[in-house]
Chain A
Amino acid sequence: MYGNHSGTPEQVSSHDAYADDGDADFLALIQADGRVEPRDAMPNAYRASLVRQIAQHAHSEIIGMQPEGNWISRAPSLKRKAILMAKVQDEAGHGLYLYAAAETLGVDRSELLDKLHTGRHKYSSIFNYPTLTWADMGTIGWLVDGAAIVNQVPITRCSYGPYARAMVRICKEESFHQRQGFEILHTLSNGSPAQHAMAQDAVDRWWWPSLMMFGPPDDASPNSERSMRWGIKRFSNDELRQRFVDMTVPQAQALGLTLPDPELAYDDTTGHWRTGAIDFTELFEVIAGNGPCNAARMAHRRGAHERGQWVRDAAAAYADKHRSATATGAVA
């Protein structure tokens, strides 16, 4: 039950005498592929790991509204504009589902937002790239949301119930995001030579960053092993990345667009598409804050939060006034 918070993490730790890996009941539940619910006893590290992952996921959803919000006023038709607005609204909704899931672990919404605004929490690096043309709306839907779906579908079976349930809802909605992106690119690719070139340019810019959305390679991913043991993560970064590549290459062919990797080749023996080496130094640079749009995204987020303060104040003041009038029995 979402409403039954287990108190602050500090309160929990004071009576948490379990080993870091969890007590016998917890481990038995995990091994039986059962679900952990908010008020269950759980190791502090499990709780902390989930808070970090769910909050980072929530932050990514709301920061992810920016690159696409950038194009709402310039969408090429009313239909595309309505679709894009619905998609950006979904991203806000996804952020809210996830913040609510994180809160069941005993953290406050305001605390999570504060950590985002002060740079103590990260969000997905993919949103630190600029959206230069309309074709970027298609490419984000197809590649970025496509990669997100591959990442997120296994989380619908995450051992933590509220996170898994939020993800079921999110995954249902993401499939519209991916299809509308594919449709935009398909239309451009089959349009004028200039439109085709615009689509190809966007795919050229987004392909490698999309592959990096799956995180560092398995041998450089320090937290993966324990997350897998705890049922938070079901597949490794490299497994999910390969799944995405195998799904995406034939789709690129259907679009009539090429992927910017001269080494991309089908491996007959394994039945998988092999990519060239991924330059992860770029990923680490963007994570470190040196991507093209890191500063702009954060400034915009902080500014939006500050500019919305009067709305939150007004709503709270109205609710307080109404409550006290009810409590004292308003004079007729």
Chain B
Amino acid sequence: MTEAGASAREWPLWEVFVRARRGLSHGHVGSLHAPDAAMALRNARDLYTRRQEGVSIWVVPAEAISASSPDEKDAFFDPAADKVYRHPTFYSVPDGVEHL
């Protein structure tokens, strides 16, 4: 057994985002542990792109992500619920009018 200290501490968690191909945005694919960003990128390549699933990878320390709370989901997203006039289907268009 090794002595306690920095080495006994668990490596930090990183969230991994992969761009599947040019023209698409990076999407979240999972997470992994690594001691630093360079190792996180290498590990992400080996773990999430073994079959050419990506052309670009982002790794983000999990602790750097702030997320909305599921408990406040309703209050947080409600303001958008009663604004149907933000959608084009809200508006009526006379028959025969095109390109609108």
The chain A residues found within 8 Å of chain B, CB to CB, are 1-5, 37, 39-41, 86, 89-90, 93, 96-97, 100, 103, 108-110, 165-166, 169, 173, 309, 312-313, 315-320, 322-323
Contact = CB atoms under 8 A, between A and B. Distances in A.
Nearest to A101: B30
B41 to A, nearest CB: 13
Interface string B69-84: 1110000000000000
A318 B2 contact: no
Contacts of B50: 86, 89-90, 93
Interface string B1-27: 010001101110101000000000000
11 contacts: A2-B62, A4-B65, A5-B62, A100-B31, A103-B13, A109-B10, A166-B30, A316-B7, A316-B9, A316-B11, A316-B35
Given A1-B65, A3-B13, A37-B70, A316 B31 contact: no
Contacts of B2: 309, 313
* Chain B residues touching A, majority SS: mixed
Interface string B50-70: 110000000010110101011
Contacts of A86: 50
B84 to A, nearest CB: 24
A300 B35 CA distance: 25
Nearest to B73: A40
B65 to A, nearest CB: 5
* Chain A residues touching B, majority SS: helix
A2 B15 contact: yes
Contact of A315 (B30, B35, B60): B35
Contacts of B33: 109
Contacts of B13: 3, 103
A319 B40 CA distance: 11
A96 B47 contact: yes
Given A2-B28, A317-B7, A319-B36, A39 B62 contact: no
Given A2-B62, A108-B10, A109-B10, A39 B30 contact: no
A312 B71 CA distance: 38
B43 to A, nearest CB: 9
Nearest to A323: B36
Given A4-B62, A109-B10, A322-B36, 8 more contacts: A1-B67, A4-B65, A37-B70, A39-B67, A89-B50, A309-B7, A319-B39, A320-B6
Contact of A3 (B9, B62, B71): B62
A183 B10 CA distance: 41
A108 B33 CA distance: 11
A173 B47 CA distance: 12
B28 A318 contact: no
A309 B8 CA distance: 9
Nearest to B66: A4
Contacts of A316: 6-7, 9, 11, 35
A286 B63 CA distance: 41
Most B CB contacts (10 A, CB to CB) among A40, A165, A316, A323 go to A316
B67 A103 contact: no
Given A90-B50, A93-B50, A313-B7, A318 B35 contact: yes
A235 B62 CA distance: 35
A3 B15 contact: yes
A1 B28 contact: yes
Nearest to B29: A169
A39 B63 CA distance: 15
B74 to A, nearest CB: 11
B69 A39 contact: yes
Contact of B7 (A103, A108, A173, A312): A312
Nearest to A306: B1
B11 A312 contact: yes
A309 B62 CA distance: 24
